Amino acid sequence: MNNINAPQLYLDDVVLNPEIHIVVCTGSGGVGKTTTAAAIALRAAEHGRKVCVLTIDPARRLAQALGIEHLDNTPRAVEGIQGSGSLDAMMLDMKRTFDEVVEGHSDPERAQQILNNPFYQSLSSSFAGTQEYMAMEKLGQLHAQAQADGRWDLIVVDTPPSRSALDFLDAPARLGSFLDGKFIRILSAPARGAGRGIGKIAAMGFGFFTSALSKILGSQVLNDVGAFVAAIDSTFGGFRERADATYALLKDSHTSFIVIAAPEADAIREASFFVERLNSDHMPLAGLVLNRVTEVTMPEVTREQALAAAQELAAGDAASKFTAALLELHAQRVSQAERQLEFAHRFTSAHPGIRVTTVRALAQDVHDLDGLREIGTLLTA
Note whether 24 and 78 are same-domain residues: yes
Dmax (CA) of the chain: 97
Q: Report d(CA 76, CA 55) in Å as an integer.
A: 12
Note whether 120 and 31 are same-domain residues: yes
Note whether 165 and 308 are same-domain residues: no
Residue 187 has pLDDT above 60, yes or no: no
Q: Angle of helix 130-149 relative to helix 118-126, nearest 10 degrees?
A: 80
Note whether 159 and 307 are same-domain residues: no
Q: Report d(CA 13, CA 280) in Å as an integer.
A: 24
Tell me, rounded to whole angstroms, the distance of Cα 58 from its chain centroid: 11
Of the pLDDT bands very low, low, confident and very high (cuts 50, 70, 90), residue 199 is very low
Note whether 28 and 69 are same-domain residues: yes
Which of 116-120, 223-227, 352-356 holds the top average pLDDT? 352-356
Of the pLDDT bands very low, low, confident and very high (cuts 50, 70, 90), residue 237 is low
What is the pLDDT, as a whole number, of residue 287?
A: 95
What is the pLDDT, as a whole number, of residue 13?
A: 94
Residue 108 has pLDDT above 90, yes or no: no
Note whether 74 and 142 are same-domain residues: yes
What is the pLDDT, as a whole number, of residue 132?
A: 75
The residue segments making up the domain with residue 33 are 12-169+238-294+344-379
In the chain, beta strands by DSSP E? 22-26, 50-55, 76-77, 86-91, 154-158, 255-261, 285-293, 356-360
DSSP state of 32: S
User: Which sign, positive or negative, has the C-alpha torsion 239, 241, 244, 248?
Assistant: negative
Give burial (CB, 10 Å; 0-12/13-18/19+) of 220: exposed
In a domain, 216, yes or no: no
Q: Report d(CA 273, CA 281) in Å as an integer.
A: 12
Q: Report d(CA 330, CA 271) in Å as an integer.
A: 29
Residue 204 has pLDDT above 80, yes or no: no
Note whether 246 and 330 are same-domain residues: no
In a domain, 180, yes or no: no
Residue 295 has pLDDT above 60, yes or no: yes
pLDDT digits (tens, 9 = 90+) for 248-281: 888 999 999 999 999 999 889 889 988 998 998 8
Give burial (CB, 10 Å; 0-12/13-18/19+) of 168: buried
In the sheet that holds 22-26, the strands lie side by side as 76-77, 86-91, 50-55, 154-158, 22-26, 255-261, 285-293, 356-360
pLDDT digits (tens, 9 = 90+) for 41-98: 999 999 999 999 998 766 666 777 787 777 778 899 999 999 889 999 988 887 888 8
39: helix, strand or coil: helix
Residue 335 has pLDDT above 80, yes or no: yes
- Structural domains counted in the chain: 2
In 103-248, beta strands by DSSP E? 154-158
What is the pLDDT, as a whole number, of residue 168?
A: 67
Of the pLDDT bands very low, low, confident and very high (cuts 50, 70, 90), residue 217 is very low
In a domain, 86, yes or no: yes
In a domain, 220, yes or no: no
Query: Domain containing 52 — which CATH number?
Result: 3.40.50.300
Percent of the chain at pLDDT > 70 equals 76
Which residues are bridge partners to 54 per DSSP? 90, 157
Tell me, rounded to whole angstroms, the distance of Cα 127 from its chain centroid: 17
pLDDT digits (tens, 9 = 90+) for 136-184: 888 888 999 999 999 999 999 988 766 555 666 776 666 656 655 554 5
In a domain, 215, yes or no: no
DSSP state of 235: G
Across residues 111-132, what is the average pLDDT?
75
In a domain, 217, yes or no: no
DSSP string, 284-343: -EEEEEEEEEPP-S-TTS-HHHHHHHHHHHTTS-HHHHHHHHHHHHHHHHHHHHHHHHHH
Residue 309 has pLDDT above 50, yes or no: yes
User: Which sign, positive or negative, has the C-alpha torsion 313, 316, 318, 319?
Assistant: negative
Q: Report d(CA 228, CA 118) in Å as an integer.
A: 9
In a domain, 195, yes or no: no
Note whether 314 and 374 are same-domain residues: no
In a domain, 6, yes or no: no
What is the pLDDT, as a whole number, of residue 47?
A: 96
